[in-house]
């Protein structure tokens, strides 16, 4: 196409390509999901439908972008790691980030009815995104440790908070006041003595979040459930759908990384 005299405006665009040879991590997070979860009557503290929907939307992103090697999700957030040497979109930060977050958001809306069959979507949800380059394997591992520790801290707090509200009849303000300044050990103690709950026996998906990794060839165990609808989208993807495993395990210690050495290769 012939160049117009307006073409010069293109030169105002900034080069935002990410550093070479670094892990690229995109994290998306629901905008105002405190409110979104109330409007859509999420079960508190953990709505299983919402957690499954988030993971299914993340799986759609992973199916589309083959250079994503690992995803980690909890609450209203998901992180996606692109392999170190990805050349997708010439590593342009804005291209990577916006493609991930927009596909995530549209998938979330597209498959909403599969998970919330009796709860209509009340308004279009939005997600923010950021991209960060991590130069070393240790930085990447620490990134996931950070997110999983966050999952644990929030879940312990939220579990206590909602037990006090739902079973002891405290108002949210009273519950918050009661938990102010408490340590993890105090919260474990409240759960145990007041509600006979051993925190460590709660489902791992709540305590550890969700990890998605690609299955090694020939391995068919613990595969995520394949699509149950007969929609065009699913039909189209059935044959080529890569096998993805869903795990709810510790990612802070070394065992996860030792069991999956191919991830850091």
Residues in contact with Mg ion by the rule CB under 5 A: 29-30, 33, 75-77
E strand segments, the chain: 23-30, 68-74, 77-82, 127-134, 210-214, 244-247
The number of residues that bind ligand ATP (CB under 6 A) is 16
Residue 41 contacts ligand ATP per CB under 6 A: no
Q: Which has the closest alpha carbon to 72: 165, 173, 145?
A: 145
The stretch among 31-39, 115-123, 193-201, 248-256 that binds ligand ATP (CB under 6 A) is 31-39
Q: Judging by beta carbons within 10 Å of its beta carbon (0-12, 13-18, 19+), is residue 8 exposed, middle or buried?
A: exposed
> Where are the alpha helices (H) located in the chain, listed in sequence order?
33-39, 48-64, 93-115, 137-166, 172-179, 184-195, 204-208, 232-238, 255-259
Beta carbons of 114 and 229 less than 8 angstroms apart: yes
Q: Which of 18, 25, 50, 190 binds ligand ATP (CB under 6 A)?
A: 50
Residue 44 contacts ligand ATP per CB under 6 A: yes
The site string for ligand ATP over 73-112 (x = CB under 6 A, - otherwise) reads: --xx------------------------------------
Residue 204 contacts ligand ATP per CB under 6 A: no
Find the shortest distance in angstroms from Cβ 76 to Mg ion.
4
Rounded to an integer, what distance in angstroms lies between the CA atom of residue 188 and that of residue 171?
20
Residue 238 contacts ligand ATP per CB under 6 A: no
Residue 5 contacts ligand ATP per CB under 6 A: no
- For Mg ion, the closer of residues 29 and 47 by Cβ is 29
Q: Scanning residues 101 to 160, which ones bind ligand ATP (CB under 6 A)?
A: none
- 74 forms beta bridges with 77
- For ligand ATP, the closer of residues 9 and 261 by Cβ is 9
Residue 72 contacts ligand ATP per CB under 6 A: no
- For Mg ion, the closer of residues 77 and 99 by Cβ is 77
Query: Could you tell me the two tokens for 10?
Result: 């293109």
- For Mg ion, the closer of residues 32 and 172 by Cβ is 32
Q: Which of 22, 24, 28, 37 binds ligand ATP (CB under 6 A)?
A: 37
Show the CA angle centred on residue 50, arms to residues 239 and 180, nearest 5°: 145
75: left (phi over 0), alpha (psi -120 to 50) or beta: left
Cis peptide before 45 (omega within 30 of 0): yes
Beta carbons of 16 and 59 less than 8 angstroms apart: no
Residue 32 contacts ligand ATP per CB under 6 A: yes
Query: Could you tell me the two tokens for 128?
Result: 């923010």
Residue 188 contacts ligand ATP per CB under 6 A: no
Residue 34 contacts ligand ATP per CB under 6 A: yes
Binding site for ligand ATP (CB under 6 A): 29-34, 37, 42, 44-47, 50-51, 75-76
């Amino acid at each position: 196409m012939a160049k117009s005299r307006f073409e010069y405006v293109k030169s105002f665009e900034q080069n935002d390509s990410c550093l070479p040879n670094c892990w690229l991590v995109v994290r998306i997070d629901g905008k105002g999901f405190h409110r979104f979860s109330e409007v859509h009557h999420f079960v508190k503290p953990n709505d299983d439908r919402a957690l499954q929907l988030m993971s299914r939307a993340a799986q759609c992103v992973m199916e589309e972008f083959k250079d994503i090697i690992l995803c980690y999700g909890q609450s209203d957030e998901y992180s996606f790691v692109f392999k170190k040497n990805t050349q997708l979109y010439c590593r342009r930060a804005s291209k990577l980030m916006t493609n991930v977050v927009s596909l995530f958001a549209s998938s979330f809306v597209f498959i909403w009815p599969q998970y919330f069959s009796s709860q209509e979507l009340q308004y279009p949800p939005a997600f923010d995104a950021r991209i960060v380059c991590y130069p070393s394997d240790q930085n990447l591992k620490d990134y996931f440790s950070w997110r999983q520790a966050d999952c644990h801290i929030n879940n312990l707090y939220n579990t206590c908070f909602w037990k006090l509200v739902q079973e002891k009849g405290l108002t949210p303000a009273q519950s918050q006041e009661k938990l102010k300044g408490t340590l993890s050990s105090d919260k474990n103690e409240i759960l145990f003595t007041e509600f006979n709950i051993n925190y460590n026996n709660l489902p791992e998906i709540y305590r550890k979040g969700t990890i998605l990794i690609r299955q090694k060839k020939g391995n068919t165990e613990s595969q995520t459930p394949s699509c149950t609808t007969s929609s065009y989208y699913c039909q189209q993807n059935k044959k080529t759908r890569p096998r993805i495993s869903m795990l709810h395990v510790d990612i802070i210690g070394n065992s996860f990384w030792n069991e999956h050495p191919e991830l850091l290769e």
